[in-house]
Amino acid sequence: MKIAARESQGSTIFDVSGDIDLAHSPEMRKALLGEIKVKKIPKVFLNLREVRYIDSSGIASLVEGLKASRDMGSRLILYGLSTTVREVMQLSRLQKIFEIYDSEEQALAS
Partner 1 sequence: MKKSGGKLRKGGKPDSEILVKLEMESNPESLCIVRATIERASEVLHFRETETRAIVRSVDEALANVMRHAYAGAPGKPIEITCRRVHVSENGRGLGGMEIVLQDRGTKIDPKKLRGRRLDEIRPGGLGLHFIRECMDVVEFSRKKGKNQLRLLKYLRPADPEARSEGE
Residues that bind partner 1 (CB under 8 A): 19, 21-23, 53, 55-57, 59-61, 63-64, 66-67, 84, 87-88, 91-94, 97
> Closest CB to partner 1 among 41 and 66?
66
Question: 74: helix, coil or strand?
Answer: coil
Closer of 82 and 101 to partner 1 (Cβ): 82
Nearest alpha carbon to residue 44 among 72, 81, 17 = 72
Complex with partner 1: residue 37 or 108, whichever CB lies closer: 37
Min CB(88)–partner 1 separation in Å: 7
User: Environment class of residue 85 by beta-carbon count within 10 Å: exposed (0-12), middle (13-18) or buried (19+)?
Assistant: buried
Burial class of residue 92 in the structure, from the number of CB atoms within 10 Å of its CB (0-12 exposed, 13-18 middle, 19+ buried): middle
Q: Indicate the residue among 74 and 92 with the shorter CB distance to partner 1.
A: 92
Minimum distance from CB of 28 to partner 1 (Å)?
12
Beta bridge partners of 8: 11
